Amino acid sequence: MAPAFFPDFRPLDFDAGGVRFAGVIGGAGPPLLLLHGFPQTHIAWRKVAPALARHHTLIIPDLPGYGASRPHATTPRWTKRRVGAALVALMHALEHQRYALAGHDRGARAGYRLVLDHPGAVTRFASLAVVPTLDALGAVDHRFAEKNYHWFLLGQEGELPERMLAAAPDAFIDRVFIGMDAESDRVIEPAARDAYRTAFRDPAVRRAICEDYRAALSEDLAHDEEDRRAGRKLDCPVLVLWPRAQEKPDRRSPAEIWRLWADDVTGVSTSGGHLLQEDCPDEVAAALLTTWRDTA
């Protein structure tokens, strides 16, 4: 996929942390690890990569189990803690001991877990469109559940979600994108949409995604609760991006929530929907570069 979506990048094909990682590497400068969300792959960063690559060496993998990144074993479950450890191993294998990190959606959840579990590794962290799992689940009401039903469908134990997804994978992923305000070809052009559908048709990918959501409702939530009780915080500056269309006057802003987790938080609202880096890539690139241009 590198030539099609990242013409100036080289393929990432590296074994580290129990995962054969796939994706792309490109650019020059201080390292920046970019993590995609559900139901995407590394190509989610295709629109912002050219601007960021002028200032950073970009490492853009598929998350373990997503896309073409293949874990050597599927048990124990790939919690965000386990994903974070594998990503640290990948960055060490690429000779990056310290690096900036930006994550969207599930990638942000793996990203903040990495920061909490590996102090000193991350120089800057950016969360796109999400707040920590503990706070997200604590605020669930019927409106959240209606829009984000997939959290609770995919998180069901057993094989029920896998069997349901197998019946109509394209229809499911298309419905997810509608819920994320990403049905337009302006947000996801046909070639990218086809790539996402192709990845989601793989039963192993669907299984990994279900395990990801199961972990969120169990192990990941427990890890957040432990950190909240212990008063642990992210040890680096945090940039929080969110779509202003999703702001609610009766709720705290994402930046306010993240200030429970970090002492240095900058918040930026953007246009567009949930898929920020695909919907408003210029705004995302500008926010990241303003914060990180001089990151070493």
One of 42, 62, 105, 279 is an active-site residue; which one? Answer: 105
Task: Report phi then psi at 53, rounded to 5.
Answer: -70, -15
pTM for this predicted structure: 0.96
Instruction: Report the alpha-carbon distance of residue 102 to residue 62 in Å, rounded.
Output: 14
Q: Which 8-state DSSP code applies to residue 63?
A: P
For residue 33, CA distances in Å to 4, 27, 185 come to 20, 12, 27
Give per-residue pLDDT as tens, 158-201. Answer: 899 999 999 999 999 999 999 999 999 999 999 999 999 999 99
| Lookup: tokens for 264 | 């240095």
- Predicted confidence (pLDDT) per residue in 192-221, tens digit: 999 999 999 999 999 999 999 999 999 999
- Enter the tokens of residue 86: 């594998």
% pLDDT > 70, the chain: 97
**Could you give the domains of the chain?**
2-138+219-292 (3.40.50.1820)
- Residue pLDDT, tens place only, 23-39: 999 999 999 999 999 99
Tell me, yes or no, if 72 is annotated catalytic: no
From the candidates 212, 220, 274, 279, which is the catalytic residue? Answer: 274
Looking at the DSSP assignment, which residues form a beta bridge with residue 122? Answer: 99
274 catalytic residue (yes or no): yes
Region 128-132: mean pLDDT is: 97
pLDDT given at position 253: 92
Going by pLDDT thresholds of 50, 70 and 90, the confidence category of residue 281 is very high
